[in-house]
Structure 1
Amino acid sequence: MVHTCVVTGCRNRRTPGTGLSFYRFPRDPDRKQRWIEAVNREGWIPNDGSRLCSIHFISGKQVKNPRSPDYAPSVFTTAPLSPEMKEPGALEILDKQEDRVEAANALLFLQGQGSSAVVERLQEERPEEREQEAIVEESGSSSLSTDNEDDDESVSDSKKGKFDAAVNFEDILKALKKENQALRESVEKMSLSENFLRNDAEKVKFYTGLPNYFVLETVMWLLAPHMDGMKNVRLSKFQQLLLTLMRLRLDLRNQDLAYRFGVKVGIVTRTVHQMVNIMSSTLVPTAVFWPSRAELRKNLPAALRTSHPDCAVIIDCFTVPFEEPVSRGNQQHQQQKRAAATSQAAGTSHNVLKYLIGVAPQGVVTFVSRGVLGNVSDKTLAEGCGFLCKLLPGDIVLASRNLDIADSVAARGALFKIACSYQGETCGSSEASPPADSSSELQSVPRHVERVISMVKRRYAMLTGPVESPFTTASERTSNLSTFDKIVQVACALNNLCISAAPLE
């Protein structure tokens, strides 16, 4: 039987070599009605022999996917074809079909762009619905292949109904929102912010040296009002504090911190210097101070309660190497050159900064001097740093070795004593020391301040050196303290916020 297209004005027939396909009207009532409306023949009803040619579809074939523009015919000529018009050749038909296929693919891409990912996710979550994919079948050029497609039409329509029922966009939207929230929380936990350290004391200890997040939060609360003048749009106040503590704690290079926080090296350098200045003026006076005599006696450890009830402080000196000679003005620079030449002739090291530290018997740091060149004697350092002004008449100053300051201490009405390092060792001082100085109770005293210094350096690795040259210059014109001097004081203040590192009990 020879089929002719039912569209008014279309004279296409099924003949060998045309390359056209002819489709039977669908069995599905809704789709069939859409085809009848597209043909637009008033009062006409198709029968079993009615056929529609493939030229009336954009892609040149019918598509059973309800989202496709070729689900119903849509290509019709505006005027009837002339009887004298020749039937187009096979090559011309193929070229037109390729253009229509490209246009159909573009439409399908635009329509499916927003739903393809959703469909894939739905199929992963519901394996039993995987067989409900949209099927796009190509019609054959013969009547046999066309009839086979018509036979499968009812099956495709039933699958289409299942697919529409399976897609619940509200559930998919809820799942995507939940996943988005989980991803945000995961990213925030990995970023260097409050949530990165909250409820994790081990992280707080590793990155800041402080015992827990509560202490870190307290430090942040104390410093926050003084950070309002710091203009840094890339880092929050907490991140600026964390960056500075990581610099002191882990001695990370500025470039490393810039990578970690996603900022430029200049921002890291400026942030560290500004935060050290704020912590030096705010935190140090609060945490590093000379206690009253009543407070000292109230909390005096048992090791000194009977032998030295008036012990006010245990002192010692420590050094930190630096990379280049310190520059604190032309006059001091010339003095440093002369001192360096003298120390080289004497065979001593001059590329170090020397500090005097005072530790209360309870194990907290109560005094830290500014750094001076390492070739300066202990006596010169002690007499020039303001330590002697802290002493009261009757105070006892203990040390593990002779610092040659007994006369200077005595001038303040206090007493300087050298505690024995080992039992049976002779104890020396400016005056004869009582035999009790060599008792076993005082054997831990010389190691007491050493343990505190070791703990501070271990807790804040930047104090082990070598110090970079930018930190050794005076940070302010009105102050003779370098940035590193302030860093040492800040490290001691932070150390005092922790549990005593070396109690004498």
Structure 2
Amino acid sequence: MPKKGKRSQAQKRRRRIEALLRTSNATNYASGEASVDPESPDFFPSLFEYSEQDQDMEAPDVMDSSILNKMTRRDTCIRKSSFTEASRSSTAEEAEEFCTDEQDAMIPLEIYNKLQVQHQQLMIEYIDLCTKSYALQEENNQLKEELCSRMFSFSSIRMKAQQMLFFTGLSTVIFEWLLSKLKGNVPAMYSTLSLEDHLLVVLMKLRLGLRNEDIALRFAVTENAISNILRNWIRIMAQTLKPMIKWPTRNAVLKKMPKCFQKKYRQCRCIIDYIEVFIETPRCMMDQAQTWSNYKHRHTVKYLVGLTPAGAVCFLSPGWGGSVSVKEMVSNSGFFELLEPMDKILAIRGFPIREDLVAYQATLHIPHFKKSDKQLCASEAGTPGRLSNVRIHLERVIGRLKKFTILTSVIPRNQEDILGDMVTVCGALTNLCQT
């Protein structure tokens, strides 16, 4: 049995609807009559007469909750119904469209077979092209390697010991060690050349005395580029390598003393000689007079060189004009100040410095060869063989420095300002070269 409260509410609702229907007529419905379909717009009357006074009437602040709930439920039902119908319509259209596309996608079997044959042919051609491309790539890489090997560079001679010695006078290990010492101070001036190639340019210039044009052609750069590399690198190399030319202690000399020196020349401290480097005729008349050598009959610059019995360069004087005498050059070079009492100095040619050496309690010795047209004196007769061996050794030691062909070449005017640095670098490199 329904409760009394619920029954009274239902009765009130029914009476209200009946009253509403009694007050409405056909003019209150859009179709002219009421409808029993809840989804029809004529389920409720929607058209009412109104006067101008109705516009001034205020709407009630609170709507009856029962009417509001009923209207909300009605709107929800309408939206659900509309969505369901729209979904059904959309699904039907998509299905119809899919069927149409599938029918359109169907192609005859004959055309399909032709396309399959064409696809297989294209795949065969593709594989063939890939194979040819790979072969061409391999050939290209091989030709590049061959081209690089033919182009002159450090990498092309790095693993060739004989060529390294010929072009630089150094082994590959010493070359790379030298580069590690210079790397932080020297610039990479041209991107087309590696740092190794920069150093190789300098060493080839000093060792072989090649012209700048020759070196430029070998490295495929301009002559101006070679000139700039030489100027910048040689100065920095001279500053870096100069400490390698130092005066040795007596103990250091004794440890490396050659056998031919052991008996009579055990106290030999140094072997002295001088080199004269040819230069182009200076433009200045005064410079011409200072550099003219009566001995060479050329314009030269002289350098006093000191070497240990083992062959290391231990002293190198500044450059002097060719007109300066040997005695004056030695006296003003600072060589005497390095000597100690009882030191023996050897030379292969006459140095007029015997009297000067007496002041430092040192002596000068010049080994001689026996000549067929001249009788040896009594002091020489007892030791001709020993003197000959010593002299041969002296010439070999002095000849190590002269293997740098730049020192026997003619230095052009535009390189005379770096001649001193060239000689310093050659002296230091002599100490690095294999004996």
TM-score by length of 1: 0.57
Is 2:146 aligned against 1:186?
yes
Is residue 220–residue 241 contact of structure 1 (8 Å, CA) maintained in 2? Answer: yes
Q: Which of 342, 367, 370 is the equivalent residue of 2:315? A: 367
Segments of structure 2 that go 5 or more residues without pairing to the other structure are: 1-108
Q: CA deviation at 1:339?
A: 4.5
Structure 2 CA distance for partners of 1:457 and 1:180, relative to 1, 3 Å: same
1:224-282 Cα offsets, whole Å, 9 max, x none, are 11114x54334321111111111122222212222222322222111101111111111
Q: Which of 279, 285, 290 is the equivalent residue of 1:322? A: 279
Is residue 311–residue 398 contact of structure 2 (8 Å, CA) maintained in 1? Answer: no
Q: Which of 375, 378, 393 is the equivalent residue of 1:448? A: 393
Counterpart position of 1:490:
425
Structure 1 vs Structure 2 CA RMSD: 3.2
1:394-416 Cα offsets, whole Å, 9 max, x none, are 21101123211112222223222
Is residue 291–residue 300 contact of structure 2 (8 Å, CA) maintained in 1? Answer: no
Counterpart position of 2:30:
none
CA–CA separation in structure 1 for the residues paired with 2:309 and 2:367: 13
Which one-letter code corresponds to 2:248 in the other structure? P
CA–CA separation in structure 2 for the residues paired with 1:456 and 1:215: 17
Counterpart secondary structure, 2:345: strand
Q: CA deviation at 1:161?
A: 5.9
Is 2:366 aligned against 1:408?
no
Is residue 296–residue 312 contact of structure 1 (8 Å, CA) maintained in 2? Answer: yes
Is residue 254–residue 268 contact of structure 1 (8 Å, CA) maintained in 2? Answer: yes
Structure 2 CA distance for partners of 1:338 and 1:412, relative to 1, 3 Å: same
Is residue 319–residue 374 contact of structure 1 (8 Å, CA) maintained in 2? Answer: yes
Higher helix share: 2
Is 2:410 aligned against 1:466?
yes
CA–CA separation in structure 1 for the residues paired with 2:152 and 2:365: 48
Is residue 353–residue 371 contact of structure 1 (8 Å, CA) maintained in 2? Answer: yes
Is residue 370–residue 485 contact of structure 1 (8 Å, CA) maintained in 2? Answer: yes
Is residue 281–residue 288 contact of structure 2 (8 Å, CA) maintained in 1? Answer: no
Q: Which of 184, 208, 212 is the equivalent residue of 1:250? A: 208
Q: How does 1:128-139 map to 2 (within 5 A)?
A: none
CA–CA separation in structure 2 for the residues paired with 1:450 and 1:370: 22
Counterpart position of 1:377:
325
Is 2:234 aligned against 1:299?
no
Q: Which of 211, 219, 226 is the equivalent residue of 2:185? A: 226
Is 2:219 aligned against 1:261?
yes
Structure 2 CA distance for partners of 1:402 and 1:253, relative to 1, 3 Å: closer
Which one-letter code corresponds to 1:372 in the other structure? W
Counterpart position of 1:199:
159
Counterpart secondary structure, 2:394: helix
1:113-141 Cα offsets, whole Å, 9 max, x none, are xxxxxxxxxxxxxxxxxxxxxxxxxxxxx
CA–CA separation in structure 2 for the residues paired with 1:408 and 1:199: 51
CA–CA separation in structure 2 for the residues paired with 1:393 and 1:192: 53
Percent of aligned pairs with the same amino acid: 29
Segments of structure 1 that go 5 or more residues without pairing to the other structure are: 1-27, 35-65, 67-156, 328-332, 428-432, 474-482, 501-505
TM-score by length of 2: 0.66
Which one-letter code corresponds to 1:217 in the other structure? E
1:342-386 Cα offsets, whole Å, 9 max, x none, are x7xx78724122222222111222222233222322111111222
Which one-letter code corresponds to 1:304 in the other structure? F
Q: How does 1:97-116 map to 2 (within 5 A)?
A: none
CA–CA separation in structure 2 for the residues paired with 1:202 and 1:194: 13
1:291-324 Cα offsets, whole Å, 9 max, x none, are 2110111221121111121101111223222222
Counterpart secondary structure, 2:229: helix
Which one-letter code corresponds to 1:369 in the other structure? S
Is 2:293 aligned against 1:349?
no
Structure 2 CA distance for partners of 1:348 and 1:491, relative to 1, 3 Å: closer
Structure with the bigger RCO (C-alpha within 8 Å, sep 6+) is 2
Counterpart secondary structure, 1:300: coil
Structure 2 CA distance for partners of 1:368 and 1:421, relative to 1, 3 Å: farther
